[in-house]
Amino acid sequence: MNKTRRVRVPGIEFEIGSGTLAIVAGPCSIESREQLFSTGRFLKENLVHGFRGGVFKMRTHPDSFQGFGLETLKILKEFKQELGLPIFTEITDVRSISDMAEVVDVFQVGSRSMYNYPLLSELGRVGKPILMKRAFSATFDEWMGACAYIEKEGNQQIILCERGVRSFEPRLRNTLDLGMVALIKAETDYPIFVDPSHAAGRRDLVIPLALAAQAVGADGLLVECHPNPDEALSDGPQSLNLDQLRSLVSSLRIKM
């Protein structure tokens, strides 16, 4: 077993990979000031370590909601000043890196962008941690190759994230590959998060998958939640409501 590399995220008191389970939660997309602040206050009260929320969304269809983009960054800055939660958000385009770097603490590479090598090389030149999601069809070697693009430019601050792969089973949005999490722990020194939300695609399965991820040794969880999931502009069916998020956090803490 390799010793896990440590990744320091500003605002999280322990290093990712040091043995404490990091919990990062928030909506799929940042939709309004009200939604952002009400979720953030709740996360803070429930001792969640970081906030996730999409600014730019990579949607399967161009007519689907694409995120509110750069206009969200201003309120995100105020949010960070008020609540101090570290911000994890997806970067979809090299042209947004410098604007986003003013507020983002961890750049998420989405499943659809894992093969965007020019984006990865550019992220290698940014001095910020990267959350590297596995593409939904990526092999171990392809995932490692994507990380190598970032490292080649000098950035070793990489956290992996398993979010489910496409399998023959249509009833689940994706199939959470916990075997891969165990393999990553056995063969590499990367810390690894699990995203049970995009794996399950339905909120009733998120808590059992999150507990399974903790059991297999994940270093963190990336979980979608929303104050009113039925009205979410993206990924409502898989978003926990805030009471469910509180139950998840307390179940995880009992086992820590």
Question: Does the footprint of ligand PEP cover residue 133 (CB under 6 A)?
Answer: yes
Binding site for Mn ion (CB under 5 A): 28, 235
Select from 80, 185, 198, 203 the one that contacts ligand PEP (CB under 6 A): 198
Question: Does the footprint of ligand PEP cover residue 163 (CB under 6 A)?
Answer: yes
According to DSSP, the residues that pair with 226 across neighbouring strands are none
Q: Which residues have CB under 8 Å from 73's CB, separation 6+?
A: 55, 99, 100, 102, 103
| Nearer to ligand PEP among residue 50 and residue 154 (C-beta) | 50
| Nearer to Mn ion among residue 28 and residue 242 (C-beta) | 28
Question: Does the footprint of ligand PEP cover residue 67 (CB under 6 A)?
Answer: no
Neighbours of 144 (CB within 10 A): 17
The vertex-118 CA angle with 159 and 124, nearest 5°, equals: 40
Backbone torsion region of residue 217, taken as left when φ is above 0, otherwise alpha when ψ lies between -120 and 50, otherwise beta: left
| Nearer to ligand PEP among residue 6 and residue 175 (C-beta) | 175
Question: Does the footprint of ligand PEP cover residue 203 (CB under 6 A)?
Answer: no
Question: Does the footprint of ligand PEP cover residue 116 (CB under 6 A)?
Answer: no
Question: Does the footprint of ligand PEP cover residue 72 (CB under 6 A)?
Answer: no
Rounded to whole angstroms, how far apart are CA atoms 55 and 67?
Answer: 5
Question: Does the footprint of ligand PEP cover residue 28 (CB under 6 A)?
Answer: yes
What minimum distance in Å lies between the beta carbon of 79 and ligand PEP?
18
| Nearer to ligand PEP among residue 124 and residue 164 (C-beta) | 164
Q: Which residues have CB under 8 Å from 243's CB, separation 6+?
A: none
CA distance to 89, 147, 174, 210, 244, per residue, from 123 (Å): 13, 10, 27, 28, 34
Binding-site residue total for ligand PEP (CB under 6 A)? 9
| Nearer to Mn ion among residue 28 and residue 248 (C-beta) | 28
Question: Does the footprint of ligand PEP cover residue 110 (CB under 6 A)?
Answer: yes
Cα first-last separation, the chain: 21
Q: State the DSSP string of 224-236.
A: EB-SSGGG-SS-G
Select from 50, 54, 86, 129 the one that contacts ligand PEP (CB under 6 A): 54
Note the residues at the interface with ligand PEP (CB under 6 A).
28, 54, 58, 110-112, 133, 163, 198
